[in-house]
């Protein structure tokens, strides 16, 4: 499980990328925990979408956990159905 930081955004997107890449190498399922996140920025959502595509192509899964309505709305704005 990867817990996203409260202030998740473009400044720390690189760190999150490394974590996801590492998890994807090790396992078939990654759980992204949004419980501490109030809002996302676009860089993070792009990363999540790219990672989900990558995982799906390899028969792996990325699951989202503790997604607030606000985050769900943000994902929807970016064309991501949850």
Partner 1 sequence: MSEGGIREIFLGEASEIFENLESDIVRLEEDSGDAEIVNRIFRSVHTLKGSSGIAGFDRVYEFTHKLENLLDDVRQGRQAVDGRLIDLVLTSLDWIKDEILTDERDIAEADRIKAGLLERIRAYKGDEIPAAAPAVEAATPGPGLQDEPAKYFRVRVSFREDIFESGVDPLMIIEDLLALGTPVYKKVDKSALPGFETIDLEKCYLKWDIVLRTEHGIDRIKDVFLFVAGDNDISIEDVTADYGGSEGAGKPLKERRVGEILVEKGILNPVDLAAAIDEQQSRHTRIGEVIVNRGLATMEQVRDALKDQERIKKRIEVSTVRVDTAKLDSILNLLGEIVIGQAALSGIADGFGEESAIGQRLKNALFGLDRTTREFQEQIMSIRMVPIGPTFEQFRRFVRDTSHALGKDIRLVIEGGETELDKTVIEKIGDPLKHMIRNSIDHGIESALERSMTGKDPAGKLVLRAYHQEGSVYIEVIDDGRGLDLKKIRAKAESMGMVRPDEDVAADRLYSLIFQPGFSTAEKVGDLSGRGVGMDVVRTNIEDLRGSVEVRSEEGRGSVMRIKLPLTLAIIDGMLVSVGRSIFIIPLLSVVESIQPKRGHVKTVEGKGEVVFVRDEYVSLIRLYDAFGIEPRHREPWDGLIVIAESGKTRVGLMVDDLLGQQQIVIKSLDSYITESRAISGAAILGDGKVALIIDMHGLLEDVNIGEWEKR
- Beta-strand (E) ranges in 1-82? 2-3, 29-33, 61-65
Asked if 41 is part of the footprint of partner 1 (rule: CB under 8 A), the reply reads yes
The answer to whether 78 contacts partner 1 (rule: CB under 8 A) is: yes
Smallest gap from Cβ 33 to partner 1, in A, equals 20
Question: Is 49 a binder of partner 1 (CB under 8 A)?
Answer: yes
**DSSP category for residue 31:** E
Which tokens sit at 39? 């809002």
Distance CA 57, CA 12 (A): 26
Residues making contact with partner 1 (CB under 8 A) = 9-10, 13-14, 17, 21, 40-43, 45-47, 49-51, 53-54, 74, 77-79
């Amino acid at each position: 499980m990867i817990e996203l930081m409260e202030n998740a955004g473009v400044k720390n997107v690189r760190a999150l990328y490394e974590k996801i890449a590492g998890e994807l190498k090790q396992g078939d399922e990654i759980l992204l925990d949004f419980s501490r996140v109030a809002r996302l920025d676009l860089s993070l959502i792009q990363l999540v979408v790219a990672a989900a595509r990558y995982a799906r192509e390899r028969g792996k899964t990325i699951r989202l956990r503790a997604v607030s309505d606000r985050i769900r709305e943000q994902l929807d704005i970016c064309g991501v159905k949850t």
